[in-house]
């Protein structure tokens, strides 16, 4: 298991299950059942470690692309790119950060809702099911510092997502600037717009023993 988008001291981060040999469980139905059994926000199956071919599941659905599984897989596999059903994701390692470059439109749609202050975001209760809500507010607009929380609203046992790379990509594209996002209970995500609609998102990854 990995923790992805950890805070500066190595804490927090979103737990990611990785099946390093996807051939052990080739059928989609079996993968979906295994992801549901584990109950993590997302589980990634590595189908070709040299080419970076991966397959991503929430407890209830297969995803064509997701941010934090790609960041974690990029760190683990140390390959120049990842191949997802949505498209080819660029990767790079830069010191303590693992980065991916992807297109925001590859991610599932979600509501990006701005609040007036970080305190308002902190005070939010889990909303009703049915809407993927990414709640955010400026902590320091001039510096690009954002406070955010993610509520998938799927009814699959994940009431709040600790760190959401896909939503960070979408917010970065919407605002058109680099961001330093604190999400959940202390996870950190860094982003930067790239040419032709691409966006980079990066964070720290740690292996759980």
pLDDT of residue 209 exceeding 80, the answer is: no
- 14-64 residue pLDDT tens: 999 999 999 999 999 999 999 999 999 999 999 999 999 999 999 999 999
* Region 94-104 average pLDDT: 96
What are the tens digits of pLDDT across the range 101-121? 999 999 999 999 999 999 999
Give the whole-angstrom CA distance, residue 7 versus residue 13: 7
Question: Cα Rg for the chain, rounded, in angstroms?
Answer: 16
| Mean pLDDT on 129-134 | 95
Residue 126: band (very low, low, confident or very high) from pLDDT cuts 50, 70, 90: very high
Counted residue by residue, the chain has a size of 209
Q: ∠1-125-183 over CA atoms, to 5°?
A: 40
Given a cut of 80, is residue 74 above it in pLDDT? yes
Model pLDDT for residues 166-198, shown as the tens digit of each residue: 999 999 999 999 999 999 999 999 999 999 999
pLDDT at 9: 87
Q: Using the Cα atoms of residue 115, residue 116, residue 117 and residue 119 in order, give the sign of their dihedral.
A: negative
Residue range of the domain that includes 8 = 2-207
Q: What is the CATH number of the domain that holds 25?
A: 3.10.310.10
| Interatomic CA distance for residues 204 and 95, integer angstroms | 9
Is-contact 111 134, C-beta < 8 A?
Answer: yes
- The pLDDT, as a whole number, for residue 144 is 98
Predicted pLDDT at 208: 85
Q: How many domains does the chain have?
A: 1
């Amino acid at each position: 298991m990995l923790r992805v988008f950890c805070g500066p001291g190595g804490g927090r981060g979103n737990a990611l299950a990785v099946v390093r040999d996807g051939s052990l469980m080739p059928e989609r139905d079996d993968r979906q059942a295994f992801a549901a059994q584990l109950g993590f926000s997302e589980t990634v199956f590595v189908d070709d470690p040299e080419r970076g071919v991966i397959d991503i599941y929430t407890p209830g659905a297969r995803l064509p692309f997701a941010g934090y599984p790609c960041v974690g897989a990029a760190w683990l596999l140390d390959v120049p790119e990842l191949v997802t059903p949505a498209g080819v994701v660029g990767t790079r390692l830069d010191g303590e950060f693992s980065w991916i470059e992807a297109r925001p439109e590859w991610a599932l749609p979600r509501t990006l809702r701005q609040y007036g202050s970080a305190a308002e975001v902190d005070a939010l209760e889990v909303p009703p099911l049915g809407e993927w809500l990414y709640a955010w507010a400026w902590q320091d607009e001039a510096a690009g510092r954002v406070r955010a929380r993610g509520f998938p609203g799927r009814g699959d046992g994940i009431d709040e997502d600790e760190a959401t790379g896909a939503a960070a990509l979408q917010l970065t594209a919407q605002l058109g600037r680099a961001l330093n996002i604190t999400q959940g209970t202390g996870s950190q995500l860094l982003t930067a717009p790239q040419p032709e609609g691409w966006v980079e998102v990066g964070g720290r990854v740690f292996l759980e023993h």
